[in-house]
Amino acid sequence: MSVTVLRGGPGPDSGDTAIAATTTTDDDLSVWPRSARPGPDGDVSVGGVSLTEAADRFGTPVYVLDEREVRERCRTYRTAFPEADIVYAAKAFLCRAMARWVREEGLGLDVCSAGELALAVTTGFPPERIVLHGNAKSPEDLRTALRLGVGRIVVDSTSEIARLAAITPEGTRQKVMVRVVPGIAAGGHAKIRTGTEDQKFGLSITDGSAQHAVARILGQPHLELVGLHCHIGSQVASVEPYVAAVRRMTGLLARVRDQHGVTLPQLDIGGGHAIAYRPGEDSLDVGVLAGRVRAELVDGCARAQLPVPRLTLEPGRAIAGPAGVAVYRVLSVKRTGDHVFVAVDGGMSDNPRPALYGVRYAPRLIGRRSAAAPRLVTVVGRHCEAGDILAEEVALPGDVHPGDLLAVPAAGAYHLSMASGYNLVGRPPVVAVSEGIARVLVRRETLDDMSRRDVGL
């Protein structure tokens, strides 16, 4: 249902002209965790836990993560791709509990640093089910991966080949894949499109870099080339770019066979599957993706007379994103010119995505009912940057005031994993909810935590 939204001041008598806009009804929870339920008092519960009570108990900002939603999304991938390896992209969000949940659901893990790798292994995650990524892996990253025995390392440059081969222990062979640039533009923003020639990841098919890397690895006795890898971008809502990537990667697998007499047994097509951040937005249909990718892979391999390789996918956002809700408390409301700014107690230090990518969210007033007409406002953070905007030109009740709570759904991915220490505000806690029980997974970062790193003059 659409309603008329007023731009401007806080009350119906402000004299502003009404403009047509679409906002969601109070009961539209389509981009929330599936366990979300509206309450009679304007509250919303997730996983059986009241968000208002969670805010009172744990303080704000607070990130609430629905364990059941995470697990169900893992199972959706396992069901859609029963013969593939599903590897959770830890960069979306990682903590010890998250590593345990995806391990128990039968997924592997994709990590990008020695830090992510060490955290996962200390939770008991099997290292052979871990894939190490990174366009510029440090010596520590590579040594840690070898020491802990990761299953696969994705090679991202030719210089990395010699460096990795030199430190691989005698008598062992490290399994590696080559990250290939398939020349496909896909993704929700220029900064997250990684399948084209003009970005830092991977080795190009077009200029022969990928083929050269394959030859180099095959000449290294301590490295075992097990397959090819590509990742075309993030927040990709269409299946077609993945089908095109599979077609090009299958062609490269055939050329490797023809040139080197080697049939590679694995193909990793990355992740980047889109989710909806606001009602009405598109998300990637995992079932449709599975059918189209499987058909293209089988047909392409038949044409090239290749055995069908073992497929790997790396969903991150699509598993963690819809499971998270961020809850903020309003600190101030003020009008500047034609704009109404609603400032909250978090901002770009816990969610830099709007500043980086212009991402748009659908915040919701929780904790009380309001009969006030909705108005277009801009929800901003508390940090000393003009770009510290969490949600621009969104409809909220016209009587929103300091002390109110705002909840932002689809907040489970690339918020806290990209959080910073800007203004020494401290990063929010992460609270898991399940069957009416809330428990802290990651505690709030305190001033004492930050002060310990400052060793003085």
Report residue 5 as tokens: 């939204």
**How many helices (H) and strands (E) would you count in the chain?**
12, 23
Q: Strands, DSSP E only, in 126-186?
A: 130-132, 152-155, 174-181
Q: Are 145 and 153 in contact (CB under 8 A)?
A: yes
Three-class SS state of 33: coil
Strand partners of residue 273? 236
- Please identify which of the residues 74, 95, 230, 384 carries the catalytic annotation: 384
The count of other CB atoms within 10 Å of the CB of residue 405 is: 23
- Give the DSSP H/E element, type plus range, for residue 447: helix 447-453
List the alpha helices (DSSP H) in 324-446. Answer: 353-357
Computed over its alpha carbons, how large is the radius of gyration of the chain? 24
List the alpha helices (DSSP H) in 81-127. Answer: 96-104, 114-122
Q: Is 95 an active-site residue?
A: no
Contacts 24+ apart (CB under 8 A), 110-113: 110/271, 110/314, 110/316, 113/138, 113/141
The secondary structure of residue 9, as a DSSP letter, is S
Q: Which of 121, 111, 185 is nearest to 148 (CA)?
A: 121
Please return the burial class of 222, using the count of CB atoms within 10 Å of its CB with bins 0-12, 13-18 and 19+: middle
Instruction: Please give the single-letter amino acid code of residue 20.
Output: A
Interatomic CA distance for residues 27 and 40, integer angstroms: 11
Spatial neighbors of 261 by CB under 8 A, at least 6 apart, are none
Report residue 295 as tokens: 């058909």
Interatomic CA distance for residues 111 and 395, integer angstroms: 38
The secondary structure of residue 10, as a DSSP letter, is S
Q: Are 98 and 78 in contact (CB under 8 A)?
A: no
Interatomic CA distance for residues 438 and 90, integer angstroms: 23
Q: Which residues are identified as catalytic?
A: 384
